[in-house]
Amino acid sequence: MFGNAFQGRCIEPFARPFFVIALFVATMGAAASATRELSACPFCFGSLQLTLRERIDTSDATVIVRWKSGEPGDLNRELPATTTFEIIEVSRGGLDAGASLTIARFQEGRPGDVFLMSGSLLEDAVKWDRSIPLSAEGLKYVRNLPASTAPVAERLRYVLCFLESADDTVATDAFTVLAAARYEDMAALRSELPKEKLRRWVFGGDRIKGQLSVYGMLLGLCGDASDSRRLEAIILNTRGPDDFRLGISGVMGGYLLLAKTEGLEVLERSFLTSAEASSSDRAAAMKALRFVGAYAEECVGKDRLAGSVRRSLATAKQPENAIADLARWQDWSATDRLLQWYDAPQKPDRHVRKAIIYFMMAAAQADREGLSDRELKSLDAAAKFVETLQKKEPALYKQAARGFIPRS
């Protein structure tokens, strides 16, 4: 889903220019093509680890084994650590079910305990990775995992049944598979999502093994008006300017899927234009807007989203990020305002000035076809600004150009 690199975190001052550059690179990459590959879940983090299926399929040898005996080893007596298993099933590798397998390390266990083991062939011997304990449910889960070549919908349907499993290994793997899926693949299964379970995980107040951010977004896909009201209550239950709420961005994203324009007005009023809002809540709201703009534009529309971003400029603590969003959504109506800000007697800081320069470069190279006279006037003003900058401040222009990818 959308990997959660910026959720609820303040960008440190030294990192701000690089964040803005990244946003503008993404802006121009999107402008160069009308189509794009949807990325993994926008509200997921930590989702780059291998799934169990990927671990099995990328290993030279994979077996399910039963613990027989183990020796922790003794340095004083120069006794090596060993563990002996009985092989139950062989998924990969030239090993035989029923044979014994001894590895050169100690794996704690009791006779009969079951483990998944995989390894790589090095110098004609298998170097085994860590042993993964399997409960009865874990064994069932691994045995029935769809092949990596199976349709995405089949793989997602399978893991949906195991989210929040009592077995931590199973719950983690199921969530990791979900987190690596594209938003459009999840949206295609909205009628099959476990709505009642999602409600319990989002509203129940219990500790969950997955991420509130993802579950909130999924509830937005399958929920109803009552869920919208309950999500809004969670969103507005903030504890002040220093509050930090892990996962709230996905809850906001799910809320926008359900509440649409009315929900956007709530986020705008409560966070984007409120001087009292915490920086993390403001960042979460902006992330939710980016999510809707990229994946569910039909819920609100980019013009309305851009309007919220424009209004947030007055109170934003890091307006350069909002300026980058306006460029990404090609909202050139902000051109005059940004030009006035750039030339104001009280100059904005260097990060904001750089963001404005990038905005003008993007506008100067934007498609002009189908634009209104007012929009064309804005693009002309941006092009004039860039031309003047290149002549009067060539060093600044060259520095900005290095961080900017032009349209192809």
Checking if the pLDDT of 8 tops 80, the result is no
pLDDT score of 77 more than 80: no
SS3 218: helix
Nearby residues of 271 by Cβ (< 8 Å), 6 or more positions away? 277, 281, 282, 284, 285
Q: How confident is the model at residue 308 (pLDDT cuts 50, 70, 90)?
A: very high
Q: How far apart are CA 351 and CA 362, in angstroms?
A: 17
> What residue ranges of the chain are covered by domains with CATH 2.40.50.120?
52-135
pLDDT, mean of residues 2-6:
32
- Please report the pLDDT score of residue 123 as a whole number: 82
Say what the pLDDT of residue 41 is.
66
CA distance 403 to 16: 13
Q: Which CATH class is domain 13-45+195-402?
A: mainly alpha
**pLDDT band at residue 101 under the 50/70/90 scheme:** very high
Residue appearing with tokens 């979460």: 284
Reported as a pLDDT band with limits 50, 70 and 90, residue 4 is very low
- So what's the pLDDT on residue 282? 92
Question: What pLDDT, in 10s, does the model give residues 370-391?
Answer: 999 999 999 999 999 999 999 9
Report pLDDT for 7. Answer: 31
Q: What is the pLDDT of residue 200?
A: 97
Give the number of other CB atoms < 10 A from CB of residue 143.
11
| Per-residue pLDDT tens over the stretch 313-370 | 988 888 998 999 999 889 999 999 999 999 998 888 888 999 999 999 999 999 999 9
Answer with the residue of higher pLDDT: 123 or 63: 63
pLDDT over 90 percentage in the chain: 66
- Residue 12 tokens, joined: 């440190």
Residue 235 burial (CB < 10 Å; 0-12/13-18/19+)?
buried
Q: Can you tell me the distance from the alpha carbon of 211 to that of 87, in angstroms, rounded to the nearest whole number?
A: 35
43 pLDDT higher than 90: no
Dihedral pair phi/psi, residue 243, rounded to 5°:
-70, 140
Distance CA(180)–CA(50), nearest Å, equals: 10
What was the pLDDT predicted at 179?
87
Q: Is the pLDDT of residue 399 over 90?
A: no
Q: To the nearest whole number, what is the mean pLDDT of the chain?
A: 86
pLDDT for 145: 96
DSSP secondary-structure letter at 68?
E
Q: Is 0.75 topped by the overall pTM?
A: yes
pLDDT, tens digit (0-9, with 9 covering 90-100), for 163-177 = 999 999 999 999 999
Average pLDDT over residues 286-307: 92
- Residue carrying structure tokens 């470069």: 361
d(CA 361, CA 389): 10
Tell me what pLDDT residue 1 has: 47
Tell me the average pLDDT across 2-21: 35
| Residue with more model confidence, 34 or 311 | 311
pLDDT band at 11 (very low <50, low <70, confident <90, very high): very low
Task: List the single range of 104-108, 171-175, 251-255, 397-401 with lowest mean pLDDT.
Answer: 397-401
CB 361 within 8 A of CB 404: yes
Neighbours of 292 (CB within 10 A): 25
**φ and ψ at residue 61, rounded to 5 degrees:** -145, 135
Structure tokens, 192:
């099959």
Rounded Cα distance between 116 and 133, Å, is: 6
SS3 call for 318: coil
Query: What does the pLDDT read at residue 48?
Result: 60
Quote the Cα angle for 228-234-239, to 5°.
150
Q: Which residues contact 231 (CB under 8 A, 6 or more apart)?
A: 202, 216, 219, 220, 223, 251, 254, 255, 258, 259
Confidence (pLDDT) at 18: 40
Residues constituting the chain? 408
Query: How far apart are the C-alpha atoms of 119 and 61, rounded to whole Å?
Result: 5
Q: What pLDDT shows up at residue 78?
A: 76
CATH 1.25.10 residue spans of the chain = 13-45+195-402
- Rounded Cα gap, residues 295 and 75, in angstroms: 58
CATH T-level topology, domain 52-135: OB fold (Dihydrolipoamide Acetyltransferase, E2P) (2.40.50)
Using the predicted structure, report yes or no on whether residue 76 has a pLDDT greater than 80: no
Helix, coil or strand: residue 353: helix
Measured CA to CA, the distance from residue 125 to residue 131 in angstroms comes to: 17
